[in-house]
Structure formats: structure tokens, C-alpha cells
Structure 1
Amino acid sequence: MRRLYPFDPLFKHHLIIALLLAIWVFVFLYFSEPLDVNQFNANEKLLFLPGYGLLGGLCYLIFVPFQYFLYSKNNAKWTIISELVFLFSFCFVSVVVARIFYLFVVVPNEPNPYTLGYMLKAIYFPAIITILPIILISRFAFGKYHDKRLDDQKIEIKGEGNYEGLRLQLNDLICVKSSDNYIEVYYLSGTYLKKTLIRNKLSVIDEDFEELQRTHRSFLINPYHFQQWKINNGKHILLLSHVIEVPVSKTYLTDVKSVIELTTN
């Protein structure tokens, strides 16, 4: 089983990380003065070193969409492998960009610039070792914070047994169907549709969660997942996410239409 790793989808948090990264790159180069940096005068340091920091921050922001791509390709799950792929890709591109900046901005007319191998050993690897913990700690902290907020927002559908129940985000819940002495809960896990059988009554769930709408004596729906109306042999049917069809009885038709209209507007 793949081990999950904290994931933060909020761009504003990654913007903060990019800013911290830019500042830290500047501070690291300014005070450690590796190779060519120790040959700069005070004005040259203030001219070139912020450029390295800015490029580091921009490289990180450019890779945020790549992170979202990996997340979606992995069925809305973020693993340790995903984190390592992201960080390795970011570090590789950052080294390439820093090398280009060095050759074409810092020493554009220098006949004998430092070789890539020498700079990797003397500057880039030490810089990565110093800077990477800042990125790791920031990403992990923001990811844990986001996970905690999501967990605090979860609803719990309880069963009659001591160990029965289901915790999930409200927007992941699609519908609940009565099934004898049980209820069938249809919900999303990432991008997959799942169903869990819980020993409870539909009337209890209806009382516990006013966000859900009764459509039939055997169904409760989450209006958030409404797709379209259908009429089959004069009977109204709601089409929900993942092509789930739910009947709407005449008793609840007016209320359902009002709720759907409010939700879609």
C-alpha cells in the first residue's frame, strides 16, 4: 500500500514558500560567498544575488501546476513518491536555470567560466542541501495544516454498532439509500465512486444532516452532485455524479426543485 504524504492544494501557501525560498537563497549566497560570489563587490552582490533568489522562487511557483498534475494523475492522492518526484524535478530545473543565469547574466563575456561539474560540487549541491530542508519543512507543515482543517470539516455518518460509521467531507457524499435495516452510502474517494453499508435508518440520517435533501422514501441526496433532470414514463429522476439515478416522488418534488434551483444558482 502506498504511504500517503501531506498535500496542500492552496496556491497562497505555495506563494509563501516561494517567497521564503527566494529570501533564503539570497541570504545563503550573500553570507556563504561560494566561488564567483566572493569575487563580487557590494553593489554586484545586490545586483546578482537577488536574481538567484527570484529565480529560485519562480521555479518553485512554476512547478506548482506540475504538483497538481501529479495529484490528479494519482487519483487525488499524494504519496512519498509523489513528493520525491516533485522535489527532484524542481531541483533539476532550478540547477539548469541557475546555470543559464550564471552564463548569460553574471559572466556573459567571461572566456573561462566555471564548469558545470565544478559548480555542481562547489555551489549547487551545497545550496540544495542547505535550502531543501526549508522547502520540506514548509511543505510538510502546510500539508498537515490543510489535512487537519479538512478533517475538522468532515461529517460522520454513524451506525448502530459501536464500530460502524463513516467520516468524510460533505461534498464527497453523493447520496444515501435505504436498504432494509441498513443504509447504502454512495461517496467519492478521490475520483472513485464507493459504497459503504451501515446499519442505520434513513430517517435518522435525514434528521442529522439538514444539508441532505429527501427525494423519495428510500433516498437522500447531496444537491451538490446534481447533474440533470430526467423524466422516464412520467416519473421524475435526478441524475447525480457518476451517473447515479435517484427517483423523485411527487411528495418531495416541489422541495427538491427549490433546493436544486438554489444550489445551481
Structure 2
Amino acid sequence: MKQLNPSIKHHIAIGVLLCLWSFLFAFFVRPFEHGTMDLQVWIRVSVGFSLASLFSYIVVAIYQKIVYQKIVKWNNALEVSTYILFYLLYTIITYTYYKSDIIRGNYEFSQFFTDIIINIALVVTPIIFLLRRYAIKLIPKKEEFVTIKGDNKMDFLKIKKDELICVSNSQNYVEIFFLDNDQLKTKLIRSSLKKIQYEFDFLIQIHRSHLINPSHFKSWKDSVTISLTQIELPVSKNYKNRLLSL
């Protein structure tokens, strides 16, 4: 996974969900019951192990945020390191708790690791993976701006990318159609349609005189005309197939 949501708040929420799920799974399924634990002991096991998962994941959240702030990137190796850190902490905490006077577990570390930790990891790892993938979707989208420059240094327009509707040729100028407080506005800039298309490859040509931002495409009015946000434009036969694929 080459992307990360660095928000500690979101990852604490993941830790809480992981904690609740771990408690329910441990209490009802009892995946490592060895016949010497009564109900009260098993409740203590379930509570302790689930809180261990919460604490371990909070440490992971802090660790990954520190790393991400330093290098401002994420990769698969760093992603794997978060799982290693989580299970390292989880193993130390749970084994210490398991051997304490609270539980007085019978397993030595090797058996504890193979019979308990590995089995837990096989079940919990996919849950962590899915929750971390979902956290990426919670990253707030940054507003992306585009700056359209003309031949004159003072001739430019800076707007949000999603506010740009289309660009039309107008002799030695291009006419920019954009939204300003949901109102359709235009601005003439001395440039060429070819230059605009080269600089902003997200624009789609629909006519020799028109480029559109596909996010504003609404519908076909007829076979040669399309409706965009607050404007209609003609479509040339040569460019029709591209639009039909949208």
C-alpha cells in the first residue's frame, strides 16, 4: 500500500473498532481455550487482549505519523513495518498479561506464540488491512487549482480545477468559461487552444474550437450538441467517440 492516512484521530477510531472486534471474537469464539479457564478468567483474557490491541495500534498510529511527517511519503516497506510494530507490541503485552497473576496462563512463550499469536494474526491482519484501506478514503480532498496564463505576464486566471467548465477558441484569444459562486463567468486570455490543451491534459477536445472539463459533462442534447454546466457546445464528428466513452 503506497498511500497513508496519517490522521491519528482516524487511526484511533480504527484501534477502537479493532479492540471491540477483538473482545467479541475472543469472548465468543475462544480461539485458544486450553480447558483450564473458567468464565471469569476468560472475560479477563478477552478484556486484556482487546485493550492490548488498542494500545498497540495507537502506538502504530503515532509511529507512522512521525515517519510520514519526516519523509512525506509512504511505501510498502513502511506499511509492513507498521504490522511488525503492532504485533511486536501486542505479543509483549499479551504474553506479560497472560503470565501475570491475573491470568496465570500455562503456555510458555514458544507455545504461546505459535498457538495464540500466530492464530490471532491470521484472523486480525485482514481486518487491519481493510480498515487501513478504508482510512485512505477518509483523507480530505485538497482543492486543486489551475492557473491559465496568457502571453502577457499579467494576463492569467487562477481558479479551482473543478470550476473550469470549458475553453473556446476566439481568434487570437481563448475564452475561459468557469464558475464563480455558481455563476457562469468568462475571461479572455491571449493564448491558443493547442497550448491550453498541452498544459492541461485533463481537458478533452470536442471540436476544433472547444475543450471541455469532462467533470462538467451532463448529457447529450442531440447528436451534435452536449450540455455542460450552464452551457451547451457543438461536437465535431471527429471527436464524438471520445465523448461517447465518458
- Band the TM-score falls in, shorter-chain normalisation: 0.5 to 0.7
**How many angstroms apart in 1 are the aligned matches of 2:10 and 2:154?**
40
After TM superposition, the structure 1 = structure 2 runs for residues 128-167 of structure 1, keeping only pairs within 5 Å, are 128-146=121-139, 149-151=140-142, 153-158=143-148
Secondary structure of the equivalent of 1:157? strand
Does 2:204 match 1:204? Answer: no
Q: How well do the aligned residues superpose, as a CA RMSD in angstroms?
A: 2.4
User: Match of 1:12?
Assistant: 9
Does 2:41 match 1:34? Answer: no
Is contact 1:15-1:61 (8 Å) kept? yes
**How many angstroms apart in 2 are the aligned matches of 1:61 and 1:100?**
19
Is contact 2:146-2:159 (8 Å) kept? no
**How many angstroms apart in 2 are the aligned matches of 1:126 and 1:58?**
20
2:48 aligns with one of 51, 66, 83: 51
From the superposition, tell whether residues 120 and 150 of structure 1 become closer, same or farther in structure 2 (CA, over 3 Å). Answer: same
How far residue 204 of structure 1 moved from its aligned partner, in angstroms, is: 1.2
Further displaced range: 45-54 or 94-103 = 45-54
- Describe the superposition over 1:136-177 as per-residue Cα deviations: whole angstroms up to 9, x where unpaired: 11111111331xx325x22223467xxxxxxxxxxxxxxxxx
Is contact 1:22-1:54 (8 Å) kept? yes
Secondary structure of the equivalent of 1:5? coil
Does 2:84 match 1:88? Answer: yes
Letter in 2 for 1:61: I
2:114 aligns with one of 106, 121, 141: 121
User: Match of 2:75?
Assistant: 79
Larger CA Rg, structure 1 vs 2: 2
Letter in 1 for 2:141: L
User: Match of 2:21?
Assistant: 24
**How many angstroms apart in 1 are the aligned matches of 2:131 and 2:32?**
29
Letter in 2 for 1:31: F
Secondary structure of the equivalent of 1:150? coil
How far residue 32 of structure 1 moved from its aligned partner, in angstroms, is: 2.8
How far residue 40 of structure 1 moved from its aligned partner, in angstroms, is: 2.4
Is contact 1:24-1:131 (8 Å) kept? no
From the superposition, tell whether residues 85 and 7 of structure 1 become closer, same or farther in structure 2 (CA, over 3 Å). Answer: same
**How many angstroms apart in 1 are the aligned matches of 2:156 and 2:149?**
10
After TM superposition, the structure 1 = structure 2 runs for residues 181-220 of structure 1, keeping only pairs within 5 Å, are 181=151, 201-205=153-157, 208=159
Is contact 1:34-1:122 (8 Å) kept? no
TM-score between the two structures when normalised by the length of structure 1: 0.54
TM-score between the two structures when normalised by the length of structure 2: 0.58
Secondary structure of the equivalent of 1:117? helix
Gaps of 5+ in 2: 161-246
Secondary structure of the equivalent of 2:141? helix
**How many angstroms apart in 2 are the aligned matches of 1:134 and 1:49?**
18
From the superposition, tell whether residues 100 and 159 of structure 1 become closer, same or farther in structure 2 (CA, over 3 Å). Answer: farther
- Describe the superposition over 1:1-24 as per-residue Cα deviations: whole angstroms up to 9, x where unpaired: xxx722112222112101111112
User: Match of 2:94?
Assistant: 98
Is contact 1:28-1:127 (8 Å) kept? no
